């Protein structure tokens, strides 16, 4: 079966080894590009539309999991769009990671590459791509559904692990010059990633803290603060309404604030009528 693939791996020798093994096991597979970080993987996947993306789970900056999440959120969902790539995570052996991938039904290969394991992965990928080919209609929208469901499961497992036993954050300390402002967490409306910082937005003002949103999430009460996008976390009781436009995009309006927050595909299932 002829197919295209992208490899995202920050260690060149491991990337070259994976490429060589793939070409030996699947000669018809064309590697369209090899990149060394998650942001480049997302950019190249959106530009080149490969059939498969092999994503190293640990890369500088945006990790493989972050990249997969970005693809699920940013992939065009129009009916004429190409289907998103099948995602395979590449990881050094870690018992927890392996169990998490298996529980979420996401494919993975271990590094250094194990030929037998990679051969099984190639067989599964070929079967999945063949099923897409023989389906009557495969659109970007319906092809995204399995990836979104799998990532929801994996993100849920990861959040449970990081938040287990952690004491929820009560006060945030935001520094400006020589002044530290103490912000009660229950006054925060939402948090938003801003380059190397996180914006902390209250009804009265905004603050910047030098902390990643991922690290912050580990300290927040998940029943109070809901992630709605890879770059946005909102306090649930600050949400006034959720509305969906004709294209299916979900937008939140907040109580006492003019901001409109977009909900990504990964988190849209939070908002259903009771």
pLDDT at 141: 65
74 shares its domain with 125: yes
Tokens of 136: 């009557």
Q: Which range of residues forms the domain containing residue 266?
A: 171-270
Q: Shortest CA distance to 106 belongs to which of 161, 64, 150, 52?
A: 150
31 shares its domain with 64: yes
pLDDT at 162: 54
23 shares its domain with 105: yes
Element containing residue 140 per DSSP (H, E): helix 140-163
150 shares its domain with 177: no
pLDDT at 154: 82
125 shares its domain with 209: no
Residue spans of the chain under pLDDT 70: 78-81, 135-141, 158-166, 274
| Residues 6+ positions from 116 with CB-CB distance below 8 Å | none
Q: What is the CATH number of the domain that holds 196?
A: 2.40.50.1020
Buried b (16+ CB within 10 A) or exposed e, 139-159: ebbebbeebbebbbbbbebbe
In the chain, the number of structural domains is 2
Last residue of a domain, one of 163, 198, 228: 163
Helices (H), the chain: 12-25, 38-48, 64-74, 95-103, 115-134, 140-163, 213-217
126 shares its domain with 216: no
Give the sign of the dihedral formed by CA 19, CA 22, CA 28, CA 34: negative
- The 8-class DSSP code of residue 83 comes to P
Q: Shortest CA distance to 41 belongs to which of 61, 22, 27?
A: 61
20 shares its domain with 150: yes
94 shares its domain with 228: no
Helices (H), 164-212: none
Residue carrying the six token digits 């490969």: 50
174: left (phi > 0), else alpha (psi -120 to 50), else beta? beta
pLDDT at 202: 96
Last residue of a domain, one of 163, 196, 223: 163
76 shares its domain with 127: yes
165: left (phi > 0), else alpha (psi -120 to 50), else beta? left
pLDDT at 150: 85
pLDDT at 159: 66
Going by their DSSP bridges, the two strands 239-244 and 250-254 should be labelled as antiparallel
Give the sign of the dihedral formed by CA 251, CA 173, CA 220, CA 193: positive
Tokens of 98: 């392996």
87 shares its domain with 17: yes
39 shares its domain with 131: yes
pLDDT at 135: 67
Last residue of a domain, one of 136, 163, 190: 163
Please report how many Cα atoms fall inside a 13 Å half-sphere around the Cα of residue 7, on the Cβ side: 22
Q: What is the CATH number of the domain that holds 109?
A: 3.40.50.2300
């Amino acid at each position: 079966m002829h197919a295209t693939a992208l490899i995202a791996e920050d260690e060149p020798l491991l990337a070259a080894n994976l490429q060589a093994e793939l070409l030996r096991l699947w000669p018809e597979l064309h590697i369209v590009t090899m990149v060394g970080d998650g942001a480049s993987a997302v950019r190249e996947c959106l530009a080149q539309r490969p059939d498969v993306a092999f994503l190293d789970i640990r890369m500088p900056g945006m990790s493989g999991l972050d990249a997969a999440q970005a693809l699920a959120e940013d992939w065009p969902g129009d009916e004429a769009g190409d289907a998103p790539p099948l995602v395979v995570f590449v990881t050094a052996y870690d018992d927890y990671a392996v169990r998490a991938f298996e529980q979420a039904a996401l494919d993975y290969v271990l590094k250094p590459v194990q030929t037998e394991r990679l051969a099984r992965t190639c067989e599964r990928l070929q079967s999945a791509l063949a099923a897409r080919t023989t389906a009557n209609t495969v659109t970007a929208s319906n092809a995204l559904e399995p990836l979104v469901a799998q990532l929801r499961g994996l993100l849920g497992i990861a959040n449970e692990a990081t938040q287990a036993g952690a004491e929820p954050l009560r006060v945030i300390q935001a520094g400006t010059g020589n002044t530290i402002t103490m912000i009660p967490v229950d006054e925060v409306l939402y948090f938003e990633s801003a380059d190397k910082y996180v914006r902390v937005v209250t009804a009265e003002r905004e603050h910047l803290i030098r902390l990643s949103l991922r690290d912050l999430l580990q300290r927040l009460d998940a029943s109070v603060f809901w992630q709605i996008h890879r770059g946005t976390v909102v306090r649930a009781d600050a949400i006034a309404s959720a509305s969906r436009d004709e294209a299916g995009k979900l937008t939140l309006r907040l109580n006492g604030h003019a901001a409109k927050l977009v909900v990504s595909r990964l988190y849209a299932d939070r908002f259903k009528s009771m």
